[in-house]
Amino acid sequence: MPEEKNRGPVERFLNLFSDVRAGEGANVLLMFANIFLILTAYYILKVVRESLTIGGVELFGLGGDEIKAYLPAVMAVLLMGVVPLYGAVASAVSRIRLINGTTLVVIGTLVLFWLWGRATGVGTAIGLSFYVYIGIVNVFLIAQFWSFANDIYTESEGKRLFAVIAIGQSIGAVLGPSIAGKGADDIFVLLLVSAGIFGVCLLLYNVINARVGRDQDLKAGGEADADKPLEKGDGFRLVLTTRYLLLIACMVLVSNLVNTTGEYILSNAALTYAREQVPGLPANEEALVTANARAAVEQGRAANLQAAEATARDEALRGARSEVIGKFYGDFFFWVNLLGVFTQMFLVSRIFKYVGVRAALFVLPVIAFGGYAAIGLIGGITVLRIAKTAENGTDYSLQNTVKQALFLPTSREAKYKAKAAIDTFFVRIGDAASAGLIWVGLHVIALQARDFAFVNLGLVAIWLLLNVGIAREHKKLVPNDRGDPA
């Protein structure tokens, strides 16, 4: 075939994973590298987040595993202001200025958190603040990348190329925890590592944007669009007035409610595991605790030796358990994302080609239903890790690519503004709903962590019904969902 003859070595190699055509390889590799680096940095920060929150936070008698379930409510409130602000900026500047500005803000704030951590160490204030910060920033960075991808590729191109670009996302998610695990003894330096990685991403965005502006073969997001701000309008309004976008928003909300509730079950198991691994301090560390306590009394930072020893011992235990939890999550994220890489590399493009985006919508909820049924009926940390590995591995690969592909047939305003609203506010509303659910379950109904698995079974049923509605609306926009259109 003429198309096959025109493909260079890069395109021929990438065809092992998806249909990459002549002239597309260079941009695909640059996009691949960009999302790879974004996810590498994010997963480094995610391990830092878990270490600071689960192991370092205690407030009103509640541990970090429970408190972190309530923080998305704070994020949702903040996002009610952040999302319209982002939309206003997007209507005032070109897409590359929008991306440059948001990335530079993230780099600067990471440096500030590093300075804070160096000054105070692990504690409640920095743990809570960093959790909220990462919860907002991570979804914006990833959503912004895929908004950019949706802008520079047409529907047919995106359906072919998103699968291979997203392999970079899956591989970055594997590498990030590995890097974080090696630096778990000094979690704050990982903030600077991530800031440096985002600096490289900034450079890649500008290279890709320049190449796209010169490439007349790209049918969407060409030079005229690249330099033109979006039309006026609010992302929330677009979602609430468009049935297709509203159904996607509700699906994202419910799926995140399921996943976040599952994360609480896992966090509870991780905390129990850390307490089992570090039930108390060894004798040699007790001597250090006593020395620190005496120093605190001498310097006037504590009223008496007994209270000072209790405080020092508590701080030492939190620090030791924080390290165990960091390594636990580093290992968990590694296996989750290894599964995600395999799925992304060898299954996603083939699922899109042979059954289409609409059918692919139903894979994750079916896996989640089976996983939570096993957790509820069988239980145990082994079953929990297997179920959550399967759920998260599919979520980060197939489900992630499906969600991005759903925006391909939408307008530029929907790709940036509505997508930003859905991928941030509605994600965090799902998290906040999970927080309410967990609070009621723990403090009103007196459920155990494992009991929430049965609650998730009912939520997955709602998720499946929403997917039926999305599939119907998607069919109106893209009647032919199977195969590789020319």
Examine residue 381 and state whether it is found in any structural domain, yes or no.
Answer: yes
Number of structural domains found in the chain: 1
Mind listing the pLDDT tens digit for each residue in 253-269?
A: 999 999 989 988 888 88
Let me know if residue 149 belongs to a domain.
Answer: yes
What is the distance between the alpha carbons of residues 468 and 173, in angstroms, rounded to a whole number? 30
Span of 242-246, 305-309, 319-323, 324-328 with lowest mean pLDDT: 305-309
Within a domain: 10: no
Residue 386 identity (one-letter amino acid): I
Q: What is the radius of gyration, based on Cα positions, of the chain?
A: 23
Cβ-contact 332, 1 below 8 angstroms: no
Rounded to 5 degrees, what angle do the CA atoms 350, 353, 356 make? 110
Whether pLDDT at 307 is above 80: no
In a domain, 446, yes or no: yes
Average pLDDT, the chain: 82
Task: Specify if 482 maps to a domain.
Answer: no
Residue ranges making up the domain that contains 400: 21-477
Residue 368 has φ and ψ, to the nearest 5°, of -60, -40
Asked if residue 8 is part of any domain, the answer here is: no
pLDDT digits (tens, 9 = 90+) for 127-166: 778 888 888 888 888 889 999 999 888 888 888 899 899 9
Which residue would you say has higher pLDDT here, 283 or 319?
Answer: 319
Residue 242 domain flag: yes
Q: What is the CATH number of the domain that holds 312?
A: 1.20.1250.20
Q: pLDDT-derived band of residue 225, with 50, 70 and 90 as boundaries?
A: low
Cα 160 from Cα 11, distance rounded (Å) = 13
- DSSP letter at 229 equals P
- Which tens digits make up the pLDDT trace of 446-462? 888 889 999 999 999 99
Note whether residue 183 is domain-resident.
yes
* pLDDT tens digits, one per residue of 29-44: 999 999 999 999 988 8
